A and B are shown apart, each in its own frame.
Chain A
């Protein structure tokens, strides 16, 4: 999880200049906008090989570093991969 957080933060750093905590609501704080949200979704799909469905496209899933990490964890668990 920590490694994922670091990677997510690295990605967010390309868009956000201010300091932010893992639990900060990025949209409510006005740090990001809907354009960013779309780029984030596209990035997560590629980087973590997950498929974000229409039902997943809720701000709650992407509102903070913590939310993004648990979302990815949930999605990766769903798609059972052969070991």
Chain B
């Protein structure tokens, strides 16, 4: 299967520009490259740089060309490109299997591929066709994808603030004035909802993906509750970052899917959405159970369920059915304000 690329990492010399900066001050942008940057950006595909160059010099060149704003966490240093690529994956919190790396040198592509075989390595001579690759074509382009770069830039600012913050973590989180809005999915949320089921692996309770059409049906169904969560703070919006699907019966609610974008992993809002669902089920005197499927990446979600008070009712291989075992909902952290809109079954 061709996985959609979340970030394209560019080499500079003889890739983004023709010429070698160290030898020649007057390098020229590769013809057509601006269009590629812009199109990828529009599609919500992030971009970064892995280049062996003098950092100050190369950054100045990017500013002179007026393209520096496209790149998140650019890695311009004399180290191995594989370690630059790894750094970018870590900073963006995305798996290396959703990265593409473009370089004119076979040696560099091989070096990256030898460390991370799942990175899509592209020869710079094929840049003209990059936009046509199926991996570069997300099925939908949502408001969240169009805003992705600026949201990631806001994340960069948050990270700097967090690293320099002195004091307990909860105090930092309070200073962000987090606000989580939870509402039933509407027509305009469905594309993003599908995108979330496809893109999210770490904080995903079952890993089931749902198509736009299925989600549209579920959002209209009387026996289902499809919830979307959006997070904002003083740095701006994180976008629509959470999704929950509950099958609703008079006596039992079954949580079939709970997912949160990895970008908000350190905000603890997965637990908050879960807590709201527990409360809603209790308000209607319904028991709550949850489906869960273990993967090699979603252990964090397993912990979210366990520490919220769920217990394993049954297990069949990787598949777990959780029961909510307590008689009251867990207390919600004081650092986040929750705004629940029309969440009724």
- Chain B residue numbers with a CB within 8 Å of A57 are 302-303, 306-307
* Closest chain B residue to A17, Cβ basis: B168
**Contact call A34/B303, Cβ cutoff below 8 A:** yes
Interface residues of A in 1-58 (CB under 8 A from B): 13-17, 30, 33-38, 41, 54, 57-58
- Chain B residue numbers with a CB within 8 Å of A73 are none
Q: Does B171 contact A (CB under 8 A)?
A: yes
**Contact call A16/B303, Cβ cutoff below 8 A:** no
What mask results when residues 304 to 323 of chain B are scored 1 for a CB within 8 Å of chain A, else 0? 10111100100000000000
Measured CB to CB, the closest approach of chain A to B217, in angstroms, equals: 32
Measured CB to CB, the closest approach of chain A to B36, in angstroms, equals: 39
The total of chain A residues at the interface (CB under 8 A) is: 17
What mask results when residues 266 to 310 of chain B are scored 1 for a CB within 8 Å of chain A, else 0? 111001000000000000000000000010000010111011110
> Total contacts A to B, CB within 8 angstroms?
50
Chain B interface extent, by class: 20 to 34
Q: Give the contacting residue for B271; candidates A16, A30, A34, A41; CB below 8 A.
A: A34
Interface residues of B in 71-125 (CB under 8 A from A): none
Q: Does B330 contact A (CB under 8 A)?
A: yes
Interface residues of B in 151-196 (CB under 8 A from A): 168-171
| A41-B303, A57-B307, A59-B307 as given contacts; A14 in contact with B168, CB under 8 Å | yes
* Closest chain A residue to B332, Cβ basis: A33
- Chain A residue numbers with a CB within 8 Å of B266 are 35
- Chain B residue numbers with a CB within 8 Å of A17 are 168, 170-171
Q: Does B331 contact A (CB under 8 A)?
A: yes
Q: Give the contacting residue for B168; candidates A16, A37, A58; CB below 8 A.
A: A16
- Chain B residue numbers with a CB within 8 Å of A13 are 168
Q: Does B134 contact A (CB under 8 A)?
A: no
- Chain A residue numbers with a CB within 8 Å of B309 are 59
**Cross-chain pairs A/B with CB under 8 angstroms, 13 sampled:** A13-B168, A30-B331, A33-B268, A33-B271, A33-B330, A33-B333, A34-B304, A36-B169, A37-B307, A38-B300, A54-B294, A54-B302, A58-B306
